[in-house]
Structure 1
Amino acid sequence: MPSIYDYTVQTANKESLSLENYKNHLMLIVNTASKCGFAPQFEGLENLYKKYKDDDFIVFGFPCGQFQHQEYDDIKKTTEYCQLNYGVTFPMFAKIDVNGPSTEPLFAYLKEEQPGLLNGKIKWNFTKFLIDRQGNVVKRYAPRTTPESIEQDIKDLLY
């Protein structure tokens, strides 16, 4: 049976990163889009990251252009946009697909663990998955769910 720690993802700098490096961390994994109406959530995600990173909490942003092409094709533009407009310092990764035949394997796993209301499909940008310190995918949040509204769930799992 696979675990979140079995997955390797590609960073924005095209380096491979094993999620095994984040054992015993609380993770929030989000499919993002810079040109989406939900992009202001970057600020809330960054605030959560800054507030709890010293407690081994991490946010991972995975840019995706599958929903009305709301992400830049150039990952450098994506990371610059996020840093300049929202002060993002949490890790951003290579642009991925979250649905369809080219789905990033990590997101296939996340959707299998927390299928949501659309039988495993991701509805839109800023779908969020919360992973506990043991690597369990414990909760899935809809795109409209703000980072601020999930802070209590994060605190409950951290402390």
Structure 2
Amino acid sequence: MRPDQDVFFTMLYRNYFNQIKLYVLSYVSDINRAEEIAQDTFHTAMDKIDDLMKADEPIRWLKRTAKNKVSNEQRTRQRYLKRYLSIDDPLAPVLVSAISLEDEVIERDEKVREGSIEKRIQNTLSHEELSLLKSIVLEQKPYIEVSKELGISIWACQKRMQRIRKKLLMAFPKYKRK
């Protein structure tokens, strides 16, 4: 980063971090998640410092970026909740979809052949990984809280979740985003 960019970014961070955190807090109920999203917003700002310096109103750019990050985070969390709801609740209702009855029968037959999702997940993940997945996805604990419980850095906690997602994608390739 050039010296002028560094000065500009430092000024933005000092002047607007709390404002962005409060803005995010209006969308999410957890102060720790709001802080993580605000940090991520400023991380993106650092990566796109040239665009930000050209913006007429940098605070507007930061708020728009924060709002997009909130939307992405909520969408991702909902996707994981739907995908892994069956970990704790074997009687969870099946989401109704617009597939034909024939397709549904074929899908059920495939599931019977594949075995239960819970067993596949339990066979794929270690006990520690399963516990981490439940904490982050189902209990919606922020990374900072889970990392403190485990005695590791936030980065290490996020990296473990990344590895867990990779393992689950290998075990369930049909759920891979296209």
Q: TM-score scaled by structure 2?
A: 0.23
Larger Rg: 2
Q: TM-score scaled by structure 1?
A: 0.25
- Tell me which protein shows more helix as a share of its residues: 2
- Tell me which protein shows more strand as a share of its residues: 1
